[in-house]
Amino acid sequence: MLRLQNIHKSFHRTPVLKGISITVQRGEVVAILGPSGSGKSTLLRCINFLERPNQGLIQLGDLVIDAEKVTKDEMIMIRRSTAMVFQNYHLFKNKTALENVMEGLLIVKKLEKAEAYQKSIQFLEKVGLAGRMDFYPSQLSGGQQQRVGIARALAMEPKVILFDEPTSALDPELVGEVLEVMKSLAGEGRTMIVVTHEMNFAREVASHVIFMDEGLIIEEGTAREVFEQTRMDRTKRFLQRIVK
What pLDDT, on a 0 to 100 scale, did the predictor assign at position 183? 96
Q: What local confidence, expressed as pLDDT, does residue 242 receive? A: 80
Residues present in the chain in total: 244
What does the pLDDT read at residue 96?
A: 98
- Distance CA(215)–CA(43), nearest Å, equals 9
Amino acid at 48: N
Q: Which helix (H) or strand (E) holds 144?
A: helix 142-155
Contacts of 31 (CB under 8 A, 6+ apart): 194, 196, 201, 202, 205, 206, 208, 209, 210, 223
Q: Report how far residue 176's alpha carbon sits from residue 26's, in angstroms, rounded to the nearest whole number.
A: 26
pLDDT tens for each residue of 59-111: 999 999 999 999 999 999 999 999 999 999 999 999 999 999 999 999 989 99
pLDDT band at 193 (very low <50, low <70, confident <90, very high): very high
What distances in angstroms separate CA 183 from CA 19, 99, 109, 191, 225, one per listed residue? Answer: 30, 25, 27, 12, 20
User: d(Cα 92, Cα 182) in Å, to the nearest integer?
Assistant: 22
d(CA 204, CA 28): 13
Strand (E) or helix (H) holding 12: none
* pTM score, whole prediction: 0.95
